[in-house]
Structure 1
Amino acid sequence: MRVLLFLKNECRQSFKILCSLAFILALALAIATAIGQTERMIKSSSAKAAEQFDILVGAKGSRTSLLLSTVYLRDEMVSLTPASVLTLLNGYKGVKWSAPLAFGDRVDDSPLVGTTRSFITLGESRQLKQGRVFATRHEAVAGVHSGLEIGQTVFPHHGRIAGVGHKHDSGFKVVGLLPETGTPWDRAVLVPIEAIWAMHEKDGGLQEPKLESWLTQGQFEKLPGFSAIAVKPVSISDAYKIRQLLSSASAQDARGQSVNLMAIFTGEVLVELYATLDSAMVAFEWFAASSVMISLLAVLITGFILGELRKPQFLQLRTMGAPRSYVMQVVWLLIMSVVASGVIIGMVGGYGLAQIAAIVIGQDTGIAMTPSVGLDEVKVGMLTLGLGAVFALFPAIKIGRSQLR
């Protein structure tokens, strides 16, 4: 009890110094744990966002650009995929459903995407949150976070930058809302792909027949093409067959030119991106670990300094009959109070920093992100406590062995 009373008195006298040390250690530990939480959060959330895209088909080029433009609706340059590819996919028995996608314009801050019923319903496996699928060229289905409501009419504009570009004359009436997915598609506005083509035709565009009618008639020369095609295979073996088939194939576009194709598994491309992310995160993790070690060393040095400053008091205790172990306990507990406070505040602060990162990244990407404290963060906290306990022994032993004079 006397040890705790003396410790309480010492903490009161050195309150500002101890709080400063605890804050420095907490800040370093918060950064270290936030980095791990943010990395794990980005990987899990981005992988979840890609779940509805098993295979992406596009013109041969950058696999990463195809993934980013389609799954995450990022502004990437992709070449047009000939419309005849869709007929090839529809005729293959290993395809459960396939849907073309066309990007380019916006409705305020929301990306405008041309597609078909198959994508909206995911092959009739998804129900809308409200309303129905578009039935005419001037109807739209909006994402739940697009800020649009059923019955509202919107006018898209050219270009992919909000507020920049001439507005189209034809509008779209929102007739349905997609369920929340936690992906950038929650902000999108989906319209019939024929409407996208018609808006960009100089002479007023294509006539009323729908995409399916053109494909049935084989009139591919009238179709400008797609940005990408989303494909849902029947089985895993079918997925590999589709990729092999299209990765070595080519098709003619509307100008009669041959276009080489590629089919990618979104999971494989994500793994490649994660490998790049891991390489970058190693540097951050080393930086964070170094910060924690430097903070612990600062606590250790301060323990020596405080011990020297309080040496007269400790010697007086020894003179009064206090054993060396008593002095060692006081010094060790004094330093460990700083370490323990820093670890607790740092763990809480790390979670707070990860929450801030989730909000910032989520607002930028449209991907719902939720950080969580995992086993790795607990290990870092326990390791810091353990190292602090060991480091605290050095000043405790040195001061405890001080000779009486």
Structure 2
Amino acid sequence: MARLPILNLALRSIGNRRATAILTVLTVAISVMLFLGVEKVRHGARESFENTISGVDLIVGARSSPVNLLLYSVFHIGNATNNITWESYETVASAPGVAWTVPISLGDSHRGHRVIGSTPGLFEHYEYGGGRTLEFASGEPFDDLFDAVIGATVARELGYQTGDSIVVAHGMGEVGFVEHDNNPFTVVGVLAPTGTPLDQSVMVTLEAIEAIHMGGATGSGATVPAEQLREMDLTPDQLTAFYVGLNSPVAALRLQRAINTYPDEPLQAVIPGVALSQLWSIVGVAERTLAAVAAFVVLTGLVSILTAILTSLNERRREMAILRALGARPHHVFVLLVAEAALVALAGAVIGTLATYGALNMLAPLLEARFGLVLPGLAPGLYDLAIVGAVTGAAAVLGFFPAWRAYRNSLADGMTIRL
């Protein structure tokens, strides 16, 4: 008996109680699956969040907090504290080391979706997801004064396609109380899904924003025919913000300081990566809470192993006594129960890990297309092996208590069990 491998005996013992063992393995598998799934989604969400905009060295707007500037210029949440003049924009755009600039003008909407006034450079220079460029599902960038490009979500929710006409309204909201319906826009392009706020936006030319607001915010002067508007100088007087790309990123801090101390107007320049990190430190509380909940779920799965072994101890006292009669020593009994706990946890952790990656590989295209959530590493790695090892080790440690009880019982019990 002493020469019989403990591992083989543990496997046979688990097989003898296969119904309980299968349920316990499933509990651990679901716990590990939830934990790893949350971890992958958590890291993917953070990376996607931080890569909402990339390739932009500075974002410039009216002086406020860096997070506020980032929120309205990139995520289109909230409003600018003030606009900036076209002259200030041209001064920065012509500064040494500036490779390109993309101006944006906000303040209008279409059925609850932000309207962004910009230039064709937006489609050329805007990057997301760590360097991916904007692509068109259909159509092309705007060229004419009243052309519009819509995001994937706008097209899907409102059923638009190229050639459709849309009317822009002043302000935000599902219903526009001041609609600029004298000169409607024509959809000429639909962006492929990006998972960024551009999916929910309508993009038009800067000159169109100026044209529909001639005579004031209500656009009372926009009764001018489109043909006549095309012949006019529609250079805007003000912008909401603009993106800056530099020839060398090392010059970003120097230009940022120059913009922040610009004497003619209170401007602010932020480095997107730094501002995104600051914003994540605010919204990341939910992410950390979710990770803690997932960790407690794994602990629950481990406790289920302990419960299963403890509840079977009284039933197995005769079994242990027989093993002792066949030559097993008390420490063999101790190791047997620890091995059972470890094997059940190992099986559950491995099954949970494989199930997690199977599910993630199936869901990854949908998560990226709908939510812009790019999941990192869709194959098991060292981190996952460490989780499997940690779960197995923790189960072995938890198995010490029932193993110690069985060890004590095996010393006291004979062939006749005193219950």
Distance 1:276 1:374 in 2: 30
One-letter code aligned to 2:102: A
| Compared CA separation, residues 186 and 286, structure 1 to 2 (3 A) | closer
**Other-structure match for 1:305:** 311
> Among 377, 392, 412, which residue is 1:385 paired with?
392
**Paired amino acid for 1:138:** F
Distance 2:317 2:309 in 1: 12
Q: How many corresponding residue pairs? A: 383
**Counterpart mapping for 1:58-207 below 5 A:** 58-108=61-111, 110-122=113-125, 129=136, 130-147=138-155, 148-163=160-175, 165-169=177-181, 170-178=183-191, 181-200=194-213, 201=216, 202=218, 203-205=220-222
Summarize the Cα distance change of 1:354–1:288 in structure 2 as closer, same or farther, 3 Å threshold: farther
1:279-318 map, 5 Å: 281-282=287-288, 284-318=290-324
TM (normalized to structure 1)? 0.78
Q: Which residue in the other structure is 2:276 paired with?
A: 270
Matched-pair contact (CA < 8 Å) for 1:139–1:191: yes
- Out of 46, 50, 53, which is 2:49 matched to? 46
SS of residue in 1 equivalent to 2:229: coil
**Rounded Cα–Cα distance in structure 2 between residues aligned with 1:210 and 1:113:** 22
For 2:134 and 2:311, the matched residues in 1 are separated by 68
SS of the equivalent of 2:168 reads coil
Q: Are 1:245 and 2:251 counterparts?
A: no
Aligned to 1:254: none
Q: Which runs of 5+ in 2 are unaligned?
A: 1-7, 127-131, 415-419
Is the 2:162–2:190 contact (alpha carbons within 8 Å) kept by the matching residues of 1?
A: yes
- The two structures have a TM-score, normalised by structure 2, of 0.76
Q: Which amino acid aligns with 1:156?
A: V
Q: CA deviation at 1:303?
A: 1.5
Per-residue deviation, 1:58: 0.4
Mark the CA change 1:165 to 1:11 in structure 2 (over 3 Å): closer, same or farther: farther
- 2:353 corresponds to which of 343, 347, 364: 347
1 CA distance for matches of 2:326 and 2:133?
Answer: 80
Equivalent residue for 1:8?
Answer: 15
Match of 1:338 in 2: 344
Q: 2:229 matched to 1:208?
A: yes
Structure 2 CA distance for aligned equivalents of residues 55 and 375 of structure 1: 36
Query: Could you say if the C-alpha distance between residues 103 and 348 of structure 1 is closer, same or farther in structure 2, counting changes exceeding 3 Å?
Result: farther
Counterpart position of 2:246: 233
Go from structure 1 to structure 2 and tell me whether the alpha carbon gap of 1:28 and 1:358 turns closer, same or farther (over 3 Å shift).
farther
RMSD: 3.7
Shift of 1:188: 2.4
Cα distance change, pair 357–159 in 1 and its aligned pair in 2 (3 A): farther
Per the TM alignment, residue 27 of structure 1 is displaced from its structure 2 partner at its CA by 4.5
Change (3 A) 1:238 1:10: closer
Aligned to 2:374: 369
Report the 3-state secondary structure (helix = DSSP H, G, I; strand = E; otherwise coil) of the residue aligned with 1:168. strand
| 2:85 aligned counterpart, secondary structure | coil
How far has the Cα of 1:269 moved from its partner? Answer: 0.8
Structure 1 residues 374 and 244: alpha-carbon distance in aligned structure 2, compared to 1, 3 A threshold? farther
User: Are residues 133 and 7 of structure 1, via their aligned partners in 2, closer, same or farther at CA, if it must alter by over 3 Å?
Assistant: closer
Name the CA distance, whole Å, in 2 between partners of 1:313 and 1:87: 87
The CA distance in 1 between the partners of 2:263 and 2:366, in whole Å, is 42
The C-alpha deviation readout for 1:152-175, integer Å capped at 9, x for no partner, is: 222233433335545431311122
Most deviating of 271-280 and 228-237: 271-280
Match of 1:396 among 384, 391, 403: 403
Q: Evaluate the alpha carbon distance shift between residue 298 and residue 4 of structure 1 in structure 2; reply closer, same or farther with a 3 A threshold.
A: closer
Once the two structures are TM-superposed, the CA of residue 86 in structure 1 deviates from its matched residue by 1.6
Structure 2: how far apart are the matches of 1:121 and 1:379?
43
Residues 95, 180 of structure 1: CA spacing in aligned structure 2 closer, same or farther, 3 A cutoff? farther
| Whole-angstrom distance in 2 between the partners of 1:39 and 1:240 | 31
Distance change >3 Å, CA 126–CA 39, structure 1 → 2: closer
**Contact map agreement 1:102 1:226 (CA 8 A) in 2:** yes
Q: How much has 1:324 moved relative to structure 2?
A: 5.3
**CA distance 1:327–1:90, shift in 2 (3 Å):** closer
How far apart are the structure 2 equivalents of 1:40 and 1:286? 14
Please list every run of 5 or more consecutive structure 1 residues that lacks an aligned counterpart in the other structure: 216-221, 252-258
Q: Which residue of 1 aligns with 2:40?
A: 37
- Relative distance call for 1:301 and 1:3 in structure 2 (3 A) is closer
8 Å CA contact 2:367, 2:373 repeated in 1: no
Give the Cα separation in 1 of the matches to 2:234 and 2:173. Answer: 31
Partner SS for 1:208: helix
For residue 48 of structure 2, what is the amino acid of its counterpart?
Answer: S
With over 3 angstroms needed to count, the CA separation of the structure-2 counterparts of 1:105 and 1:370, relative to structure 1, is farther
Contact 2:62 2:80 in 1 (8 A): no
For 1:151 and 1:5, locate their aligned partners in 2 and report how far apart those are by CA, in whole Å: 70
Q: 1:218 maps to what in 2?
A: none
